[in-house]
Structure 1
Amino acid sequence: MTAPKPVPARDHAALDRTFSQADFNAFARLSGDDNPIHVDPEFSARTRFGQTVAHGALLCSVLRGLVETIMPGGRQLSQTTQYPAPSPAGEVLHFEAETVAETDHGVVIALKVTRLSDGVITCLGQTEVTA
């Protein structure tokens, strides 16, 4: 992959979403990931998070929808994400995707999820997409 060339941010998409425990449960059924940290409030209450938290793949699904807004029909070449903090049920989350660079193959889009209650970033990453 050729090194990204910085460009001014020109494309941006964002939305706010709140997931319920029912959303976590539905995603677990769909994905097969029924880890108790996502679906068992009693178990989760005893963890360092104190409550159930979103699947990383659920957050990435919403972010992928924003990428589609920026580059309709684009093909994803790569993606990296980190989860520095939890995204609990009932919290308003702000999802953002923003074009930050061009490459020989497409564009690099920065990805971010922030808890609105305290401004903490819960997911951070980037994806490269080609037309």
Structure 2
Amino acid sequence: MTAIREDRVFTQTDFDRFAALSGDDNPIHVDPVFSAETRFGRTVAHGMLLYTALWGLVRRHFPGAVQETQDLMFPAPTYAGETMRLEVDLLDRPAPDRLDLAVRVVAAADGTVTLDGRTRVRLTGGEFR
């Protein structure tokens, strides 16, 4: 498997919609006035919004994949309006129907990692593409 890469720009509207969908309306994500007074200086993405985008990328390349485990860290914030690179790399294939994947969100401008993790998926319904 070659590395999977996709660029994406998250918007404040994405943050607001994810907050409405998830119920996580922490002002650090949805209130620019509040966030301006924090150490971040502006709103930041929900960690699970970032992982949801990665999971969508995984599912487009591995249709029918089922997540078995995930381990995620968020070492830096993701801000609205910045180009981010979603990255998925094969780490291991512990069984014919299992893949261990590295997942990352990286700022395209300077390489700052904002999500770093791994996930194990079970393949269903055939081979991956």
TM-score by length of 1: 0.88
* Pick aligned residue for 1:123 from 98, 115, 124: 115
Residue 61 of structure 2: which of 55, 63, 70 is its match? 70
Whole-Å separation in 2 of the counterparts to 1:22 and 1:107? 33
Residue in 2 aligned with 1:53? 44
Residue of 103, 107, 111 corresponding to 1:111? 103
Shift of 1:59: 0.3
Query: How much does 1:123 deviate?
Result: 0.3
Q: How far apart are residue 21 of structure 1 and its match?
A: 1.0
Cα pair 1:111 1:124 within 8 Å, conserved: yes
What's the offset of the Cα at 1:70?
A: 3.2
1:74 Cα deviation (Å)? Answer: 1.1
Deviation track 1:75-110 (CA, whole Å, cap 9, x = no partner) reads 111001100000011111100111110113611010
Select which of 8, 14, 17 maps to 2:5: 14
CA displacement at 1:121 relative to structure 2: 0.4
Give the paired residue count. 122
| 1:85 alignment partner in structure 2 | 76
Code of the aligned partner of 2:70: Q
Match of 2:15 in 1: 24
Q: Which runs of 5+ in 1 are unaligned?
A: 1-9
Aligned match for 2:29, one of 35, 38, 46 = 38
TM-score norm. by structure 2 comes to 0.89
> Counterparts of 1:103 and 1:15 in 2: how far apart (Å)?
26
16 and 85 in structure 1: CA distance in 2 versus 1, 3 angstrom threshold = same
**Which deviates the most, 76-85 or 103-112?**
103-112
* Unpaired runs of at least 5, structure 2: 124-129
